[in-house]
Every structure is written in C-alpha cells, then in structure tokens.
Amino acid sequence: MLGAALDELAAARQVKLQAASSVIESAPLGPSRRRYANAAALIRSKLEPAELLELLKGIEARFGRRRGARWSARVLDLDIVLWDGGCWWSPRLTIPHPMFRERRFVLGPASRIAPDWRDPLSGFTLRQLNARLTTRRALPR
C-alpha cells in the first residue's frame, strides 16, 4: 500500500520524489487494534502546503480512506511533517506536525532519509530528535 501511494505521489506532475525510507511496523496510537506500516518521503514541490495537503488527501481518498472517527483504523494516512519554508499554520494544517517529535514511527524513518533536516521550532536535527526519543538513559538514583 505504501509503495503504491508513493508511486502515485511521484507520478503527480507537481511533485518530485527525492527519497523514501524503508517501511517499519508500529503499534497503533489510540483504540485501533491493528498494527501499521510507516515510512517517510522527502519530496520537492512548488506547491504551497495547503495545495500539497489537498493532493495528499486526494491520494488517501483514491486508496479508500474515508473520514470518520479520530484515531480509528485507516487504510492510508499521509501527513506533511516538515516544510523547507519553516512553520505554517491554517485551520486544516500545522507544520511542523505538532506531535512528530514524540513519534518514533515518524522520526525513525525520517531521520534515515533527512538526518540533518532541522526542526524550525527546536533547532534540533531529525537525527538528534530521534536520538533523544530512542536513547536509553540511566534512571536517577
């Protein structure tokens, strides 16, 4: 499913797929019981974030995604996590994605294809954010 969605994204005239991570499996967030496949893609586009979001939502719909209950199981979920323009906000979209710093299933794949990309709010690279999330630390005594 992810490969086919990436192929469709790459076929869009307004988008150039520059890199895609390998696929990882993760546990669900929220009440869903199914496990999910996750990946990250680095794209180049002249589309503004709101236009890119519309393109992504169209791909989701063609793959069978239907709007429903928040946190419910879904066929495909495409998000804009970061943008080279820094921060962006509209009623439908916030960039950087508000929760990406806390999600291994985002940071792991993203840090493999764009390790030096910086979070415009914290200044940390994706590699650093992933290390902060995944490195074990000794408990205080």
Reported as a single tens digit per residue, the pLDDT across 33-49 is: 778 889 999 999 999 99
What pLDDT score was predicted for residue 80? 96
**How many Å apart are CA 46 and CA 16, to the nearest integer?**
10
Tokens of 97: 């994605």
**Cβ pair 19, 116 in contact under 8 A:** no
Q: What is the set of domains in the chain, with CATH numbers?
A: 2-134 (3.30.70.560)
Q: H-helix or E-strand containing 47?
A: none
Reported as a single tens digit per residue, the pLDDT across 54-102 is: 999 999 888 886 665 554 556 788 999 999 999 999 999 999 999 999 9
What pLDDT score was predicted for residue 111? 97
What number of other Cβ atoms are within 10 A of residue 105's Cβ?
18
Q: Say what the pTM is.
A: 0.84
Which has the closest alpha carbon to 107: 85, 135, 88?
135
